[in-house]
Amino acid sequence: MRRAGGEAGGSQGEPTASPQTLAVGRARAALDLGAGARGLAIALCCLAAFIAFLDTTIVNIAFPQIERAFASSAGLSTLSWVVNGYNIVIAALLVPAGRTADRLGRKRFLMAGLLLFALASGACAAAQGAALLIAMRFVQALGAAVIVPTSLALLLPRFALRRRLSAVTLWGAASALGAGIGPSLGGALVDAWSWRAVFLVNVPLALIAALLAAGALAEEEEPGPLPDLLGGALLTIALGAVALGVVKGSEWGWLDARTLGALIAGVLLLCLVARRCLRHPEPVIEPRLLGAGGAAPGNVATLLLSVALYATILNNVLFLTTLWRWSVLQAGLAISPAALTTALFARPAGSIAERFGVRRVAIPGTIIYAAGTLLFAWGAGRTPDFLSHWLPGALLTGIGMGLSLPVLVGAVLVSAPLPQLATASGINASVRQVGSVLGVALVVSILAAADAGGRAGAQRLLEGHRSAWYLAADFALAAGAVAALLTRSRCGGARPPVPA
């Protein structure tokens, strides 16, 4: 991709082009690409998103077998870090990864993230102990933390500003498709071989994407200093401490010194991170990006909706494989309609929001999602009944998530300056991952309390699952209430300077 600096700077001695001018020039170049090259670049960015989000649901469906494989050496709360630890690391590293990619090159960071993701996935598949598996999930999360913001940041300049919301929902549809295929693909792989296959399948996909990126994308970078590395480390520790307290609370006791110590330490460290962000010249989280346009209400609504989403996903997997005693393949097929419906509705949701406004799409979406989780709670009993008691709730949650989450993400990113696209994308993705950590941790705590050390009857376990669905409904409705604070603008916020 050609540099804009040559046109903006002119002959020697003239002023150097600003980062915004450079970004506008590169955006013009991206829009001027031939249809074939532009289409390949868009497809590659969506493929990268597909790979990153495939790993969330494909591991969830394998979680019961992972639990059984390591039951003798680790309990449910410890093994939840296979899912929770992955999300914690992503949440903590997405922002510094995005900031660093903006500075050092989005293409090279995307390729490095894909290669690291492939390497860690292979190591997860070969792990012989719970400790090694969890450690490699952390490394895998580092790769995903680079893939997510860079893939979206490389995609957005290939769309004019008025179509940026559609670009985000296109990326969101690819992400939802990865999540949608994950349960059924994971179930088939686990049923045919073992849980190790759900990690091994990532290796060829990530390697192919990295090879394609080398030829399909041009480098994009914005000169400047690196972000606050200490702030990123403190954020990682803070999120880990909070999640530790939530996950272990039911086991240790909510008033136990260990639980309170973890929660208080996490909150204090988060306050320290916030203080550093206000004072550091290159903070791990840019305060101005949090307040631009629809960023603040959009990010908060995204956080709340993500809690609902990931709480529902884990609760559904455990419900189907424990109370209904379905195989992982059956459970994967039962979960797929929700995620596939999300992918189906995500793309048109962006076009509708561009025309009628974000609020008129996102708020009904959150209400529909809450209705779906209530159908699960009211309809799902101890006797399996897919058509009457499961499918209606799955379809409603899929429709609701497809209408709400992608347009909330779009409401945040439509206001982001071009030079900070990966940073803004990283902030929003980090918010989603914090929500996933809280959602998973809350469900684990609820079900651990209901299980009473493995001595609870089926009825008590059913009530625990219903409590988790009610929790998801509450968070979805809270997300809709916050979405009502979004600006009336059809694109969700103020418009930064962009190519004409």
Q: How far is CA 74 from CA 248, 354, 434, 476, in A?
A: 13, 49, 24, 32
Mean pLDDT across 353-359: 87
Query: 361-377, pLDDT tens digit by residue?
Result: 999 999 999 999 999 99
Report pLDDT for 250.
63
CA 74 to mean position of chain CA atoms:
27
The backbone torsions φ and ψ at residue 356, rounded to the nearest 5 degrees and listed phi first, read -110, -10
Report pLDDT for 247.
64
22 has pLDDT over 60: no
Q: Smallest Cα–Cα separation from 90: which of 411, 432, 412, 445?
A: 432
At the topology level, CATH places domain 33-227+284-483 in Growth Hormone; Chain: A; (1.20.1250)
Report pLDDT for 24.
46
3-state secondary structure of 181: helix
Report pLDDT for 179.
76
Higher pLDDT, 42 or 499: 42
335 with 316: CB under 8 angstroms?
yes
Q: Smallest Cα–Cα separation from 168: which of 150, 152, 149, 146?
A: 152
Give the whole-angstrom CA distance, residue 205 versus residue 227. Answer: 30
Report pLDDT for 12.
43
Report pLDDT for 77.
64
27 with 150: CB under 8 angstroms?
no
| Among the ranges given (3-17, 91-105, 294-308), the one the predictor scored with the smallest mean pLDDT | 3-17
5 has pLDDT over 50: no
17 has pLDDT over 50: no
Mean pLDDT across 161-168: 78
Mean pLDDT across 318-344: 87
1 has pLDDT over 60: no
253 has pLDDT over 60: yes
Q: H/E element holding 13?
A: none
- Could you identify the residue written with the tokens 């019961």? 64
- Could you identify the residue written with the tokens 């680790």? 74
Mean pLDDT across 223-248: 76
- Would you place residue 492 in the very low, low, confident or very high pLDDT band (cuts 50, 70, 90)? very low
Query: 409-467, pLDDT tens digit by residue?
Result: 888 887 777 767 777 888 888 888 778 878 887 888 888 788 765 555 778 889 999 99
391 has pLDDT over 90: yes
499 has pLDDT over 50: no
- pTM, to two decimals: 0.81
367 with 477: CB under 8 angstroms?
yes
Q: Which two tokens stand for residue 133?
A: 């598996």
Mean pLDDT across 118-129: 93
Reduce the secondary structure of the chain to three states and give it as a string. CCCCHHHHHCCCCCCCCCHHHHHHHHHHHHHCCCHHHHHHHHHHHHHHHHHHHHHHHHHHHHHHHHHHHCCCCCCHHHHCHHHHHHHHHHHHHHHHHHHHHHHHCHHHHHHHHHHHHHHHHHHHHHCCCHHHHHHHHHHHHHHHHHHHHHHHHHHHHHCCHHHHHHHHHHHHHHHHHHHHHHHHHHHHHHHHCCCCHHHHCHHHHHHHHHHHHHHHCCCCCCCCCCCCHHHHHHHHHHHHHHHHHHHHHHHHCCCCHHHHHHHHHHHHHHHHHHHHHHHCCCCCCCHHHHHCCCHHHHHHHHHHHHHHHHHHHHHHHHHHHHHCCCCHHHHHHHHHHHHHHHHHHHHHHHHHHHHHCCHHHHHHHHHHHHHHHHHHHHHCCCCCCHHHHHHHHHHHHHHHHHHHHHHHHHHHHCCCCHHHHHHHHHHHHHHHHHHHHHHHHHHHHHHHHHHHHHCCCHHHHHHHHHHHHHHHHHHHHHHHHHHCCCCCCCCCCCCCCCCC
For residue 157, the 8-state DSSP code is G
- Would you place residue 13 in the very low, low, confident or very high pLDDT band (cuts 50, 70, 90)? very low
Higher pLDDT, 369 or 343: 369
With left for phi above 0 and alpha for psi between -120 and 50, is residue 457 left, alpha or beta?
beta
User: What is the pLDDT of the chain when averaged over all its residues?
Assistant: 81
Higher pLDDT, 96 or 498: 96
